[in-house]
A and B are shown apart, each in its own frame.
Chain A
Amino acid sequence: MKYESILSQLCEELLILTKGRTTVGENTELVGDLALDSLQVMDLLLLMEDRFDISIPVSILPDVKTVRDLAIQVEKLVSNS
Chain B
Amino acid sequence: MNRIPDVTFAPLPTPTENSLPLRRADFSTLAEALDYAAEGETGANFYSGSGKLATVLPYRTLRIQSLVLARRLLSLPIERGARIAVVAETNPDFLRFFFACQYAGLVPVALPASANLGGHEAYVAQLRGLLKGCGASVAMASSQFLRFLQEAAKDLDLAFLGTPADFEELSEQDVELEYSRPTETAYLQYTSGSTGFPRGVVITQQSVLANLFAVVNHGVDMRPDDRCVSWLPFYHDMGLVGCMLALVASQRSIDYLDTRDFAMRPRRWLELMTTTRATIAFSPPFGYDLCSRRIRPDDVAQYDLSAWRVAGIGAEPIRAELLDRFARLLAPAGFDPRAFVPCYGMAESSLAISFSPLRQGVVVDWIDPDELAENMRAKPSDHKSGSGFVHCGAALPGHEIAIYDNQANVLPDLHVGRIKVRGPSVMSGYFGLPEQTQMALSPDGWLDTGDIGYLVEGSIVVTGRHKDMFIINGRNIWPQDIERIAERQPELRSLDASAFCAPGPNSEDVAVVVVQCTLNDSAQRRQLTKRLHREIHEELGISCVIELVPRHTLPRTSSGKLSRSATRVDYLRRREQDGSSLSMIDSTDLSDAALSGSLVVDWKLAKQAVPTGSGTPFGLRAAASPD
A→B interface (CB under 8 Å): 18, 21-23, 29-42, 45-46, 49, 55, 57-59, 61-65
B120 with A49: CB separation less than 8 A: no
Q: Which of A36, A46, A62, A63 contacts B597 (CB 8 A)?
A: A36
Residues of A within 8 A of B123 (CB): 62
A30 to B119, CA, bound (A): 12
Q: Chain A nearest CB: distance from B300 CB in Å?
A: 20
Q: Chain B nearest CB: distance from A19 CB in Å?
A: 9
Q: Chain A nearest CB: distance from B467 CB in Å?
A: 23
A21 with B596: CB separation less than 8 A: yes
Residue of A nearest to B145 (CB): A59
Residues of B within 8 A of A30 (CB): 117-118
Residues of B within 8 A of A57 (CB): 144
Closest 6 CB pairs of A and B: A35-B597, A32-B534, A62-B120, A59-B144, A37-B543, A65-B118
Does any Cβ of A come within 8 Å of B41's Cβ?
no
Contact string against A for B residues 61-88, beta-carbon threshold 8 Å, 1 for contact and 0 otherwise: 0000000000000000000000000000
Does any Cβ of A come within 8 Å of B115's Cβ?
yes
A61 with B534: CB separation less than 8 A: no
| Contact (A22, B594) CB under 8 Å given A57-B144, A62-B120 | yes
A22 with B596: CB separation less than 8 A: yes
Besides A31-B117, A49-B49, 17 new A-B residue pairs in contact (Cβ under 8 A), listed by A number: A18-B597, A22-B593, A22-B594, A31-B537, A33-B530, A35-B599, A37-B542, A38-B475, A38-B542, A42-B263, A46-B265, A49-B264, A58-B113, A58-B260, A61-B116, A61-B118, A61-B119
Residues of A within 8 A of B50 (CB): 55
A46 with B264: CB separation less than 8 A: yes
Residue of B nearest to A30 (CB): B117
Residues of B within 8 A of A29 (CB): 118, 534
A57 to B113, CA, bound (A): 11
| Contact (A36, B534) CB under 8 Å given A55-B50, A58-B113 | no
Q: Which of B115, B593, B594, B595 contacts A61 (CB 8 A)?
A: B115
Does any Cβ of A come within 8 Å of B598's Cβ?
yes
A61 to B594, CA, bound (A): 22
Residues of B within 8 A of A59 (CB): 115, 142, 144-145, 148
A63 to B593, CA, bound (A): 25
B49 with A62: CB separation less than 8 A: no
Q: Which of B144, B264, B533, B541 contacts A32 (CB 8 A)?
A: B533
Q: Which of A31, A39, A63 contacts B120 (CB 8 A)?
A: A63
Residues of B within 8 A of A49 (CB): 49, 264
B residues 245-267 in Cβ contact with A at 8 Å: 260, 263-265
A18 to B265, CA, bound (A): 20
A64 with B118: CB separation less than 8 A: yes
Q: List 11 A-B contacts (CB under 8 A).
A: A18-B597, A22-B593, A29-B118, A29-B534, A35-B598, A38-B537, A38-B541, A38-B542, A40-B598, A41-B117, A64-B117
A38 with B116: CB separation less than 8 A: yes
A37 with B598: CB separation less than 8 A: yes
| Contact (A58, B114) CB under 8 Å given A18-B597, A23-B593, A40-B598 | yes
Residues of B within 8 A of A45 (CB): 264
A52 to B75, CA, bound (A): 45
Q: Which of A23, A37, A40, A62 contacts B148 (CB 8 A)?
A: A62
A63 to B48, CA, bound (A): 23
A37 to B530, CA, bound (A): 14
Q: Chain A nearest CB: distance from B19 CB in Å?
A: 36
Does any Cβ of A come within 8 Å of B237's Cβ?
no
Residues of A within 8 A of B542 (CB): 37-38
Q: Chain B nearest CB: distance from A57 CB in Å?
A: 5
Does any Cβ of A come within 8 Å of B473's Cβ?
yes
Does any Cβ of A come within 8 Å of B184's Cβ?
no
B116 with A32: CB separation less than 8 A: no
Residues of A within 8 A of B148 (CB): 59, 62
Does any Cβ of A come within 8 Å of B538's Cβ?
yes
B residues 155-188 in Cβ contact with A at 8 Å: none
A41 to B596, CA, bound (A): 17
A62 with B116: CB separation less than 8 A: yes
Residue of A nearest to B120 (CB): A62
Residue of A nearest to B537 (CB): A31
Q: Chain A nearest CB: distance from B91 CB in Å?
A: 12
B residues 535-566 in Cβ contact with A at 8 Å: 537-538, 541-543
A65 to B116, CA, bound (A): 10
B593 with A21: CB separation less than 8 A: yes
Residue of A nearest to B472 (CB): A38
A11 to B541, CA, bound (A): 22
A55 to B49, CA, bound (A): 7
Residues of B within 8 A of A62 (CB): 115-120, 123, 148
A65 to B535, CA, bound (A): 11
Residue of A nearest to B87 (CB): A59
Residues of B within 8 A of A33 (CB): 530, 594, 597
